[in-house]
Every structure is written in C-alpha cells, then in structure tokens.
C-alpha cells in the first residue's frame, strides 16, 4: 500500500468530529467497514481477465501487483462468485475462515499438545476475525492452503503436501518462511528420489501458474511476483515501529535481520530439530551416505517415520523465527502465525498463567491501532520470550517406533 493510500485509510478508519456546535470537545466516529486492498485486488484481476499478461501493467489503487500468479487465479474465481461485491465476498471468506479453523483443529487433534479448553483460544482473536471476514486479504487463502499442506504431512502425503504448499506460495510469498523447516522434514522423512519428486512437483506448479506471464515478460513477472527486496512503509509496522524510520528503511537493517534469521534457524536446526541425529551437519552427512548406499531406493526403506508433534513443532517454530525477524509486520500478517501461538506456548515449560498472559499480550499488541513506540517493543519482547521458552524446553524424540522395520533388521 502506498504512502498516499495509507494516509487516506487512516482518515477513513477514524474521524474526529465536533461533539456539539460551538463546542471544542471532540468525539471519534468509527466507520463500520473501510476497504483496504479489495478494490486493488479487483482492479488487478480485471486487468488479467481483460487479457493483460504483462505484470508491469497489472495495477490497482495501492500500486502494482506484487503477488505471484496464483493470486490472480484465486481472486478471479472470487470475483466470478461474488460479482466483485464486498458483502458476498465476506460471506465467502466466512466459509474460508471456518474451513481453515477446521484444519487447524485437525492439526491440533493429531498432535495432542493442547488441553481441550485451550482450543477455545483459536477462536478468540478479534484481529483475525477482521482479517478473514471483513478485510478479505489474500493472506487468508495462503494460510489456509499452508495449513492444509501441514495436515497432509501428518498423513504422510508428502508429494501432495508439497504441491499444496507451492499453491500457497503462489498466492503470497510469506509462506516461504516455512520452506527451511519443511525442507528439513523432507530430508528426515524421505529418500532422495522421493525428495526430488516432491520438489519437482512443487516447482512445476509454479512454472505452470506463471507460464502465461513468463511467455510475455519473464523479467517483469519474476521481479514483481517474487520481489524479496520490498521496503514496507514504516507507518504500518506493528513490530518495529519503535525503530527510527531512517534505520527501518535502510539496507543495513534488512541485512542484519536476515543474518539473525539465518543464525536462529541454524541454531534451532542444529541443537533442537536435529539433536537426536547428532546435529545438522551429521544429519546431512548421514543422509548423503544413506542415499549413496540406497542407490535412489524408491521404497525409501532407510527413512524413519517422523512424529506428528515433531513435524508441526519444526514448521511452526521455523515460521515463527521468520516472523520475529521480519522487518515489517502489517496487521493482516497476524494471520501468518496466530494459529500456531497456542501450540508453541504449550510446547514451552511456562506455567499456564504465563502462557495465557503471553497469548493475551500478543493479541492486545495486534489490536492497538496504529501501533506505537510502546506496543511494538512489547510485541517484540513477547515474541522473544516465547522463542526463549521454546529454546530451553527439552527436545523430544522425533521418530515413531517402527516395530516392523526393527524386526526385519533383526
């Protein structure tokens, strides 16, 4: 969203009006609904449906299209179903919200991390309700598909899960925050031939979705749809609002966050996620040796069965590390990790009251609009506290007992 559009939105969201004629006191009038990106989505989709295939020419009132091609296909379908009207779209997104919630409940049920009463926390976020049912953001579709991919992993449908994961990436690139831990799960759960097939399926889907635009102007499509160097507006930042704008927009700040991100991923991968394999280098070396001796064994006989708990923990925590190190979190980005918060909190050894306070604190920070120099450092502090709690929690054995394979080996 551009600077001018951001300022217009602020004026729409809350207006200060005189309470009585001749009185200097004022009151705030809260508008029940304000459009944010919906009109831009519809403009971009309309250009696509009119036959435009050059990404340079697909624009809306918030600026040029910056999402991969899957976004256009999904919102073309949404426009067809709703006629481009907000109210029917909100009903559709209400159904999407319920669908996403059902998959989240399935994931939690397959892991048995939370007590039954704590599942209610997943339904209590005012901001999430706004993101899904009122604001109609593409983050909702992307995260629903990501959760579907995670659910498929719990049923060992690796190849289909990777295709669904790729579909989520084609709607919004934030899903790539889960790519490092997901790739680690592929290494631990599959043989080389299966890994290559899963990655090939995901890659082919990206090529297939982007093909109409790659044939016309590949440079424009790749640079716009997969731009990793975007600089977000300081005004909208929820997490680093306390950082001066000059520093916030600098390359040094972005590079520093990237370095911290990579270090945290490496530390968790080596000391937590691969602890029982002897660390990350030992896992990679042993995997290479196993692959060499198996000679691309299609039956994957040398792979162990991962625990559901380990799969979900690794992906959720890996994504959360990316959230902490993101230069800017906009309000709709809360959907990127909200549903993993109870899971991660219950994976820590904190007392229940501390878990609930941390959960409530995150929710409060995300409902302060606009964010300020008090709410953003508080949010960062809570994030780091949760991450520290995850770090000090003892690791659990990541594999299921495979009695059949043990019998054969004996």
In a domain, 214, yes or no: yes
**Phi, psi (deg, nearest 5) at residue 166:** -65, -40
Residue 210 has which token pair?
Answer: 């982007």
- Least confident stretch, 11-15, 58-62, 241-245, 363-367: 11-15
- What percent of the chain clears pLDDT 70, i.e. is strictly above it? 85
Tens digit of each residue's pLDDT (9 = 90 or more) over 342-388: 999 999 999 999 999 999 999 999 999 889 999 999 999 999 999 99
The CA-atom distances, in angstroms, between 388 and each of 74, 182, 264, 391, 393 are: 38, 22, 11, 5, 9
3-state percent breakdown (helix, strand, coil) of the chain, nearest 5: 70, 5, 30
Is the distance from CB of 158 to CB of 186 less than 8 angstroms?
yes
Is the distance from CB of 379 to CB of 239 less than 8 angstroms?
yes
Tens digit of each residue's pLDDT (9 = 90 or more) over 232-249: 788 888 999 999 999 999
Could you give the number of structural domains in the chain?
A: 1
Distance CA 95, CA 133 (A): 9
In a domain, 110, yes or no: yes
**What's the rounded mean pLDDT across residues 107-130?**
94
In a domain, 192, yes or no: yes
In a domain, 30, yes or no: no
Paired with 64 in beta bridges are 59
In a domain, 265, yes or no: yes
In a domain, 169, yes or no: yes
Confidence band, pLDDT 50/70/90 cuts, at residue 292? low
Examine the pLDDT at 95 and tell me if it is beyond 60: yes
Q: Which domain holds residue 229?
A: 35-399
Tens digit of each residue's pLDDT (9 = 90 or more) over 134-176: 999 999 999 999 999 999 999 999 999 999 999 999 999 999 9
In a domain, 26, yes or no: no
In a domain, 47, yes or no: yes
Tens digit of each residue's pLDDT (9 = 90 or more) over 181-237: 999 999 998 888 899 999 999 999 999 999 999 999 999 999 988 887 777 788 888
The confidence score (pLDDT) of residue 355 equals 97
Residue 371 has which token pair?
Answer: 């964010």
3-state SS assignment for residue 81: helix
The confidence score (pLDDT) of residue 32 equals 52
Examine the pLDDT at 261 and tell me if it is beyond 70: yes
Examine the pLDDT at 304 and tell me if it is beyond 80: no
The confidence score (pLDDT) of residue 18 equals 41
Confidence band, pLDDT 50/70/90 cuts, at residue 286? confident
């Amino acid at each position: 969203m551009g600077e001018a559009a951001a300022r217009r939105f602020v004026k729409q969201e809350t207006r200060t009006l005189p309470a009585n004629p001749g009185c200097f006191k004022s009151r705030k009038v809260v508008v029940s609904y304000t459009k944010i990106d919906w009109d831009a989505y519809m403009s971009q989709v309309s250009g696509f449906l009119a036959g435009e295939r050059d990404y340079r020419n697909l624009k809306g009132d918030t600026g040029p299209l910056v999402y991969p091609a899957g976004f256009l296909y999904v919102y073309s379908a949404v426009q067809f179903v709703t006629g481009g009207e907000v109210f029917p779209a909100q009903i559709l997104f209400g159904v999407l919200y319920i669908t996403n919630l059902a998959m989240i409940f399935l994931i939690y049920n397959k892991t048995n991390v939370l007590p039954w009463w704590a599942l209610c926390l997943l339904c209590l976020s005012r901001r999430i309700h706004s993101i899904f049912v009122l604001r109609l953001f593409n983050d909702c579709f992307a995260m629903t598909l990501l959760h579907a991919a995670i659910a498929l992993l719990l049923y060992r449908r690796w190849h289909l899960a990777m295709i669904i994961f790729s579909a989520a990436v084609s709607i919004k690139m934030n899903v790539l925050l889960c790519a490092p831990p997901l790739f680690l799960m592929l290494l631990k759960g599959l043989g080389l031939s299966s890994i290559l097939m899963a990655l090939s399926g995901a890659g082919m889907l990206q090529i297939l979705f982007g093909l109409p635009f790659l044939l016309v102007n590949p440079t424009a499509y790749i640079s716009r749809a997969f731009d990793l160097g975007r600089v977000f507006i300081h005004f909208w930042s929820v997490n680093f609002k306390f950082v001066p704008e000059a520093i916030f927009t600098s390359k040094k700040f972005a590079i520093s966050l990237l370095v911290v991100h990579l270090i945290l991923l490496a530390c968790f991968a080596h000391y937590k996620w691969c602890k029982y394999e002897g660390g990350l280098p030992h896992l990679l070396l042993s995997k290479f040796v196993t692959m060499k001796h198996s000679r691309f064994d299609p039956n994957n006989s040398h792979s162990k069965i991962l625990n559901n708990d380990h799969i979900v923990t690794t992906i959720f925590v890996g994504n959360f590390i990316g959230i902490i190190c993101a230069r800017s979190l906009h309000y709709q980005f809360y959907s990127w990790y909200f549903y993993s918060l109870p899971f991660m909190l219950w994976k820590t050894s904190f007392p229940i009251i501390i878990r609930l306070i941390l959960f409530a604190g995150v929710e409060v920070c995300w409902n302060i609009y606009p964010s300020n120099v008090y709410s953003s450092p508080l949010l960062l502090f809570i994030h780091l506290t949760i991450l520290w709690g995850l770090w000090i929690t003892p690791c659990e054995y990541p594999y299921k007992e495979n009695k059949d394979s043990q019998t054969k080996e004996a």
